[in-house]
Amino acid sequence: MFAVLAPVAVAVGIYLFGAHHTPDYLNGLFGAYGTEAVDLKARLSTVLLGVALIQICLALWMYGRVPGADPAPRPVRLGHRVLGFLALLLSLPIAYHCLTTYGIETTSPRVAIHSFAGCALYGAFVAKVIVVRSRRLPGRLLPVVGGLLVLGVALLWYTAALWAFNGDSVPGFSSG
């Protein structure tokens, strides 16, 4: 039951904070404000997306899912863990700025999807930690929650970073 409730509680908690927090559009991120902060978040989230893609490649290698590849050496597991921790650390200032500056917004489909995906990302992270540490949950859940994490990062990147890089538009969404 904890394995289901904890991730949901994290996602709902972030949503409730963002929905009831008064946005402060003057917040900065590492000394950058306004469009400079948006550009910085876009660059940071691009690095995060790259790390997430490396993570999925390392996971595939660790579990023998890379055709023609030798078994992953032991340091690959450590590298996967370290990169995962760094990815979490990299995501935190981005998420903090989004939540405190904008909160949860539903002003357009793109913004609503971004807001909800941001909440779900940290729920998926908690789920992955629980699945990794559990000896009771089926092992087949690990690639599912790991995949959800990468999908969440990609969706957040698509609905914000690509939007910023592409002149405030992305395929599939009108401006907003």
The confidence score (pLDDT) of residue 163 equals 95
Whole-number percent of the chain with pLDDT over 90: 90
pLDDT in tens, 18-71: 999 999 999 999 999 999 999 999 999 999 999 999 999 999 999 999 999 999
Spell out the domain ranges in the chain.
33-165
d(CA 114, CA 160): 7
The model's confidence at residue 3, banded by pLDDT at 50, 70 and 90, is: confident
pLDDT in tens, 87-120: 999 999 999 999 999 999 999 999 999 999 999 9
DSSP state letters, 120-157: HHHHHHHHHHHHHH-SSS-TTHHHHHHHHHHHHHHHHI
pLDDT in tens, 157-173: 999 999 999 998 888 88
